[in-house]
């Protein structure tokens, strides 16, 4: 049975309606409390989900702080310029191979965490995030979704000044400041969805819709990305892939994030994240 996996107080939980169930206690210790171990127990999570109706919830989601569903992936990949509309607004050529970079796993935070701004050039990017469930090397695109545990929402927060500070530019540092990877609120197993290639994505800043598109418009779709990455590196359970963002980013409009801005990020069928921006210390370049 389909399941919804979350993280409360750094413990794996299953979600049903407004309630959560501690995975370890609900399964009498069969499923690990550690979110990164639980993600390796897909069969157990499916089985536990089917039994939730007979169990007493651990608590109500109201009033608890939800953490990132994936806390410490071995690898956290991200893909740049993966929608034609975003490549066009960035005045960059369409890639002929995926433009892959790393977001350091240490940047991952939960769906309501504050985003810390260290300059006046920080930007938002809504993305579908894919979570690997079954390890694999040299995965064929036709088998790729079978290696995916589930999907969640991500914001690939980016400091544009730092992203383009070095020549040639490299994306990793500017996209890996602490708090630059909100994900959540929960991971939905892939069997929730009849069509895995058509998720509607949206970013609102305060009340203004800035980004709105569908993953149908990805240049390199999820199966291709998994095939491509797995030819380079073994994919492990819990590895995550930020799949790219459509147009509407702040840099293209001169509208960067400011102290107090509320980023509301929605993917239909998965939910909504709400992150508040906080201006903190100034980042200082090396020279």
32/265 with CB nearer Zn ion:
265
Which sign, positive or negative, has the C-alpha torsion 98, 99, 104, 109? negative
What are the E-state strand segments in 57-147?
A: 59-60, 76-80, 99-102, 108-109, 115-117, 122-123, 126-132
Residue 88, Cβ neighbours under 10 Å: how many? 14
Residues within window 231-250 making contact with Zn ion, judged by CB under 5 A: 245
Among 22, 123, 156, 202, contact with Zn ion (rule: CB under 5 A): 156
Contact 153, 266 (CB under 8 A): yes
Contacts of 187 (CB under 8 A, 6+ apart): 4, 5, 6, 39, 69, 70, 131, 149, 150, 151, 152
Q: Determine the interface stretch with Zn ion among 57-65, 118-126, 136-144, 226-234 (rule: CB under 5 A).
A: 118-126
Q: How far is the CB of 129 from Zn ion (least distance, A)?
A: 10
Q: How far is the CB of 245 from Zn ion (least distance, A)?
A: 5
Among 101, 61, 109, 52, CA closest to 81: 101
Show the tokens assigned to 64. Answer: 């608890």
Q: How far is the CB of 241 from Zn ion (least distance, A)?
A: 11
Burial 37-56 (b: 16+ CB within 10 A, else e): ebbbbbebbeebbeebeeee
Q: What angle do CA 284, 112, 192 make, to 5 degrees?
A: 125
24/125 with CB nearer Zn ion:
125
| Binding-residue pattern over the window 32 to 51 for Zn ion, x denoting contact by CB under 5 A | --------------------
245/266 with CB nearer Zn ion:
245
125/261 with CB nearer Zn ion:
125
Residues within window 202-231 making contact with Zn ion, judged by CB under 5 A: none
CA atoms within 13 A on the CB side of 161: 14
Show the tokens assigned to 218. Answer: 């990805």
By beta carbon distance, the residue nearest Zn ion is 156
Q: How far is the CB of 80 from Zn ion (least distance, A)?
A: 6
Q: How far is the CB of 206 from Zn ion (least distance, A)?
A: 21
125 makes contact with Zn ion (CB under 5 A): yes
Number of residues that bind Zn ion (CB under 5 A): 3
16/214 with CB nearer Zn ion:
214
Q: How far is the CB of 15 from Zn ion (least distance, A)?
A: 26
Binding residues (CB under 5 A) for Zn ion: these are 125, 156, 245
């Amino acid at each position: 049975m389909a399941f919804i996996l979350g993280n409360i107080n750094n413990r794996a939980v299953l979600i049903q309606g407004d309630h959560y169930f501690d995975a370890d206690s609900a399964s009498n210790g069969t499923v690990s409390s550690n979110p990164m171990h639980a993600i390796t127990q897909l069969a157990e999570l499916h089985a536990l989900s089917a039994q939730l109706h007979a169990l007493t919830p651990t608590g109500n989601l109201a009033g608890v702080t939800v953490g990132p569903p994936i806390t410490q992936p071995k690898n956290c990949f991200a893909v740049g310029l993966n929608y034609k509309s975003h490549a066009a607004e960035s005045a960059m050529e369409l890639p002929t191979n995926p433009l892959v970079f790393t977001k350091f796993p240490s940047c991952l935070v939960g769906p309501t965490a504050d985003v810390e701004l260290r300059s006046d050039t920080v930007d938002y990017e809504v993305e579908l995030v894919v979570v690997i469930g079954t390890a694999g090397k040299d995965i064929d695109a036709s088998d790729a979704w079978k290696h995916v545990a589930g999907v969640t929402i991500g914001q690939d927060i980016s400091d544009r000044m730092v992203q383009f500070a070095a020549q040639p530019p490299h994306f990793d540092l500017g996209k890996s400041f602490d708090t630059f990877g909100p994900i959540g609120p929960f991971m939905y197993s892939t069997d929730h969805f009849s069509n895995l290639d058509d998720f509607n994505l949206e970013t609102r800043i305060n009340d203004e819709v800035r980004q709105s598109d569908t993953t149908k418009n990805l240049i390199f779709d999820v199966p291709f990305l998994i095939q491509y990455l797995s030819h380079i590196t073994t994919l492990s359970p819990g590895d995550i892939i930020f799949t790219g963002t459509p147009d509407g980013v702040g840099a293209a409009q001169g509208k960067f994030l400011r102290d107090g801005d509320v980023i509301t990020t929605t993917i239909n069928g998965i939910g909504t994240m709400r992150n508040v921006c906080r201006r903190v210390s100034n980042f200082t370049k090396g020279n």
